[in-house]
Structure 1
Amino acid sequence: MTKILLVEDELALRETLEEILELNNFEVSVAESGEEALESLQNSAPDLIVSDIMMPGITGLELIAKVHQQAQFKQIPFIFLSALASKEDQNKGIIAGAKGYITKPFKASELLALIRELLG
């Protein structure tokens, strides 16, 4: 089963996303913060990471940099799911190494299509 690490600090959205992903046959591990996500990576490497950008502590942009600094995690596809909707913000995410950037509010079908595309 494909493993997805979901990094989202907002409880309601995190629970909704977890449910959507599990209903679509993904194994989901969740993290409330960038720090928690880094700890989770040490236990089990996911096939893909979906992360918010604006979080307390380590932001999503800092998280992707830390993840990609580690050789064993460098190839994990990363999707940003963020309320930061400007083209400049989206470009920052892609330049940081994200394979996709979806703005909130979003459609579940859009997220699922991108995940499936990135995972082949």
Structure 2
Amino acid sequence: MSKRKKVLVIDDEQMHLYTAKALLEAEDLEVETYQGAFGATNFVRSCNPDLVLLDINMPALSGNNLVNHLKPFCVEREIPIFFYSSNDEAMLRDLVAIHGVHGYISKGDVPGLRRRVTEVLARK
């Protein structure tokens, strides 16, 4: 019996956490959520996910700044990080290139969320 893959969603908005969790659990994935940026680095370490979905637009410490703290651990453990945002796609592509994360997923793209997450986890 193989263990279910674990996705961690980091976002400051409870509704986005709830929605992403419900959509991904329907794909038979284990989903952990973390609200906000502060303490997220320690949570990633304790959770040890197979994939991190990181919101960009969080107050005080944005996701594109938080990613710099998450990357060393995630690179070491080969945990892909995807920005998960409602920002426009041109901006997301630029942020992916700047921060060297694996990609982005638009919050409004439900089929894209399911497809991208399952594709990435199938390769792990």
With the shorter chain as reference, the TM-score category is 0.7 to 0.9
Query: Partners of 1:88 and 1:13 in 2: how far apart?
Result: 20
> Is the 1:61–1:93 contact (alpha carbons within 8 Å) kept by the matching residues of 2?
no
- Choose which of 109, 114, 117 in structure 1 pairs with 2:116: 114
CA gap 1:95/1:25 in 2 versus in 1, 3 angstroms: same
Aligned to 1:58: 61
Structure 1 residue runs without a partner (length 5+): none
SS of match in other structure, 1:69 = helix
The CA RMSD over aligned residues, in Å, is 1.6
Q: Please give the alpha-carbon distance, in whole angstroms, between the structure 2 residues aligned to 1:113 and 1:44.
A: 23
1:96 partner letter: H
Match of 1:100 among 79, 93, 103: 103
Unaligned stretches of 5+ residues in structure 2: none
Equivalent AA in structure 2 for residue 62 of structure 1:
N
* Percent sequence identity over aligned pairs: 27
Counterpart of 1:115, as a letter, is V
> Scaled by the length of structure 1, what TM-score is found?
0.86
C-alpha offsets along residues 29-56 of structure 1, whole Å, 9 cap, x if unaligned? Answer: 1111122321212312100001110002
In the alignment, the residues of structure 2 paired with residue 102 and residue 43 of structure 1 have an alpha-carbon distance, to the nearest angstrom, of: 24
> Contact conserved, 1:94 with 1:101, CA < 8 A, in 2?
no
Residue number in structure 2 paired with 1:32? 35
Q: Report what 1:23 is aligned to.
A: 26
Question: Helix, strand or coil for the counterpart of 2:38?
Answer: helix
Output the TM-score relative to the length of structure 2: 0.83
Q: Is the 8 A contact 1:7 1:49 kept in 2?
A: yes
After superposition, the C-alpha distances for 1:4-63 in whole angstroms (9 at most, x for unaligned) are 110111111211111111111111111111223212123121000011100023211112
Count residues in correspondence.
117
Tell me which amino acid in the other structure corresponds to 1:111. L
In structure 1, what is the Cα distance between the partners aligned to 2:87 and 2:54?
A: 12
